Amino acid sequence: MTNRVHTIYISLLIIIIFITLAVIVSIGYDYYTTPLTERFFHEDYRLLKPSGSIGHGYGIIGTLLLLIGVASYVIRKRVKRFARLGLLKHWLEFHIFLCTLGPLLILFHTAFKFGGIVSISFWSMVAVVLSGIIGRYIYLQMPRSIDGVELSFEESRELNYDLSHQLRQKYNLDDSIINRLDNYSGNESQAINILSLLPIMIKGFWEDRSALNEITISLKNSNVPRKNIKEVKKMCKAKLKLNRRLSLLKTTQRLFSYWHIIHFPFAILMLVIMVVHVGITLAFGSRWIF
């Protein structure tokens, strides 16, 4: 998947989520904004209540999307025979898409009325979604190979060395520029307080942009042929990003281990109560449109 195709792919997933939200809101805005005590008398009550044909449908479809999103990513990640079935990072993005769209539908299935044991599942789902967003952000800060496999510190340094070697040998880039690339991100593998991680990442983003602008100016006065400048800039950007991630590696690894402690138990709790809820619903003879 090329960068352009990947951008279109991500954009399409985001558009689907926003279109789904817009359609649901347009269908039931008046009902969802009606006070809970008055909804029974609303003309759309039979359709949009949790057991209504539309409201119940939101719950069923949302649950299926959630289960598919979790199962597909876990199978792709854990089962070796599927290791070559697309890049892991693309499966993670699809997992995030389904596990965003599914809870969105489940939210409207509840009609914003939470109570009993189901409320535990709902708030667990909210915790899973929020922690998933945070986990995705941390995930992006960790050095990885092109297929999404996490790299160790030594493997990351070796990749960094290979980038430097290519810039020297293939593009004849000056050592002074390569040294500047290595020095922009500070000390390697420094331990940083977790609370200060986000401000440091934001600061690093703007520092890298500034560094890339300076490197671009330097490239115009270097021995690099003009036809190769675009490719060299791309490699310089990759080297800056890798250096930045190397400098934060210890902190991101520690934070990611904490994230697993939060995300996994909430996910299990959500799924268990969801299964109990579905089982009780079926036991009492509740059906959808069938």
For the chain, give every domain's residue range.
3-146+254-283, 153-247
Phi, psi of 150 (to 5 degrees): -65, 135
**Judging by beta carbons within 10 Å of its beta carbon (0-12, 13-18, 19+), is residue 129 exposed, middle or buried?**
buried
Distance CA(31)–CA(27), nearest Å, equals 9
pLDDT in single tens digits along all 290 residues of the chain: 677 888 898 999 999 999 999 999 999 999 999 998 899 999 999 999 888 889 999 989 998 998 998 888 888 888 888 877 877 778 888 988 998 898 899 889 988 887 767 777 778 888 888 877 777 777 777 776 655 566 677 777 788 888 888 887 777 777 777 777 777 655 444 555 556 666 777 777 777 777 777 777 777 777 677 777 778 778 888 888 787 777 777 677 777 777 777 777 888 888 888 888 888 888 877 777 55
Q: Count of H helices and E strands in the chain?
A: 10, 0
The DSSP result for 42-84, as a single string, is STTHHHHSTTSHHHHHHHHHHHHHHHHHHHHHHHHHH-GGGTT
Distance CA(57)–CA(97), nearest Å, equals 19
Is pTM, for the whole model, over 0.85?
A: no
Angle at 12 between CA 107 and CA 126, to 5 degrees: 25
C-alpha separations of 216 from 36, 48, 172, 236 in Å: 60, 57, 15, 9
